[in-house]
Structure 1
Amino acid sequence: MECQGPIHVLECILKLPYEKKMMTVALLWAWWSERNKTNHNESRLSTGEFIFLIKRSTDEWLRFFKPPTKSSTTSTPRWTCPPAEIIKINTDGAFLEETRDGGWGALARDSNGSIIFAADGRITHAYDALHAETIAIQHAIGLANQLGMGRIILETDSQILKQALLSPSLNQSRLGHLFLDIKYQLITEFIDYAVEFCPRACNKPAHSLAALGMRNRQSDQSLWLSVFPNFVTSLVTSDIAVS
């Protein structure tokens, strides 16, 4: 069916499969945004960045608007301990679009669920939420290397970041140089590593640390190696109690 005029275009979009419908909306939104930049003489995205923006928006909207699945039993995902001799590090980033500032958090635990370190810090001049998530993993890797950890599992609640670190698909995006740097550090600095996705429900301590880092005005980074903040130990104890 040929689409003529805005009403017919809308009717055609509504007839598309759900995923293609969301991708079309993301394309139109990105196109409108680039048109506004042109009208205001602002710098525009490259072709690679434009495609990346459409894909990221589509993925985020699909997750946000995904209808809940019906199940006979309701279960909440929980954090799980890593195998013996491996350290699992949960990371998270917080981002405030109005100021382009944010925070990052990282929490490392061993196979018994014991905390190895907790850390947070401020972020300034971030591009977006994905940039904040990427900075969080960068700091986690730096601390793990500094503390002599040879085998690690990195957990993030960003599917896009996991994809970026496990494939070359986003190497040409605006954050591509950061993804490549992280991959290089993982390969050269660690005996063994993995990057895994975890739901937000499994990432509460790191999420709370990132929120604390965003509010931190005294220093760029805080690191705890023995005595940990009460809210961290409380969330960790809750994780272990139900695992």
Structure 2
Amino acid sequence: MDGTLPIVANLRKRGINILGGCKVCGLEEEETLMHAVRSCPKVEEVWRAAHYNLGGQQQSIEAWLQQQLEQQDRDLRGRFVALLWCIWKRRNKAVWEDKTQEASSVVNMADGMIVRWKEAQKATAGAAAGLQRGGQQNGTRTGAPRDKWEAPEEGIIKINVDGATNQAAGLRAWGWIARDHQGEFIKARGVSHRAEWTVEETEALGIRDALSGALAEGWNRVIIESDALSVVRGITRREGGSYLQLVLDDIFSIVESKSDFEVSFCKRSANHVAHTLAKAHVSSPDHVKEYVEVPDCIYSRLAHDTLI
């Protein structure tokens, strides 16, 4: 878990220059996930304001989360997850937008989210969040997908991303490939982990990884394409406390902070190169590989996209 979230320590490993440590409390040491959601002094203020007993320090973030979830009933577990989500959201605003938020506001936001979630469960139908303008919502686009891959406009880099699952081996993977306006290969990356993420979580993690890669490369105008429609639509939804929603919130924060970043839906037929790359990585556990030359596994499919 600690290795996949975009905390300062992990962003630095990816080559993204985030100065300082924790942007919430000003700690100059390297930010860890435990610090970001548990031991940061500003985060402890939130837990105290919410009247939560955090218990003693644990050796790992996983042990602490397990302890908290096991000792609470269903309603308290829901509130705990909502608070985690809002703490993480505040942290993202501090990192990407240089904005601060008081502990009481974080608690109120979490409690309000629980109320809205309960109201939503009673509704007979839902609608996608966000203001819709010709199929585009706050940096995401879901309308009129094409059947084949198309090169972006000059000056824009298009990154196609897809996830893959090996249920029998307990492996999850994703792959992304970046191309320019002429369809020329720029870079690709394949990642696999032994994990129990859902299909949607894996797809979302792939999108977030592609965005992190774009930031690391210093690309300013980027289109991310994914064939996971529910994930692309979910980026603009601002409710829920699941792990998926935490990842989607990270994606939203990055796209919102970069006016020329966009996440779009595409059909599987327009995403077969990324799909092939993801499938090639789903057989090897905990494997990360970056490509500066075209991988053999996608060479013919890449050529096919360029010719049609």
TM-score by length of structure 2 reads 0.51
Matches within 5 A, 1:39-50: none
Q: Is 1:153–1:194's contact at 8 Å kept on the other side of the alignment?
A: yes
- Structure 2 gaps of 5+ residues are 1-73, 79-113, 126-145
Q: 1:193 aligns with which of 240, 257, 261?
A: 261
Higher relative contact order (Cα pairs below 8 Å, separated by 6+ residues): 1
| Alpha carbons of structure 1 residues 170 and 100: separation in structure 2 relative to 1, 3 Å | farther
Match of 1:125 in 2: 195
Q: Percent identity between the aligned chains?
A: 25
Q: Is 1:102–1:124's contact at 8 Å kept on the other side of the alignment?
A: yes
Q: Deviations over 1:130-180 (max 9, x none)?
A: 011011112111111111111111100011111111x22554444111111
Match of 2:302 in 1: 236
| Alpha carbons of structure 1 residues 215 and 99: separation in structure 2 relative to 1, 3 Å | closer
Match of 1:207 in 2: 275
Report the Cα offset of residue 105 of structure 1. 0.4
Q: Is 1:97–1:128's contact at 8 Å kept on the other side of the alignment?
A: no
Q: 1:184 aligns with which of 253, 261, 272?
A: 253
| Alpha carbons of structure 1 residues 170 and 206: separation in structure 2 relative to 1, 3 Å | farther
Query: Which amino acid is 1:179 matched to?
Result: L
Match of 2:228 in 1: 158
Matches within 5 A, 1:1-243: 77-165=147-235, 167-168=236-237, 171-188=240-257, 190-217=258-285, 220-225=287-292, 227-242=293-308
- Structure 1 gaps of 5+ residues are 1-42, 56-75
Separation in structure 2 between the aligned mates of residue 145 and residue 169 of structure 1, nearest angstrom = 23
TM-score by length of structure 1 reads 0.64
Report the Cα offset of residue 239 of structure 1. 0.8
Off by >4 Å, runs of 4+ in structure 1 = 43-51
Separation in structure 2 between the aligned mates of residue 114 and residue 237 of structure 1, nearest angstrom = 10
Match of 1:34 in 2: none
Separation in structure 2 between the aligned mates of residue 216 and residue 115 of structure 1, nearest angstrom = 24
Q: Is 1:100–1:128's contact at 8 Å kept on the other side of the alignment?
A: no
| Counterpart secondary structure, 2:250 | helix
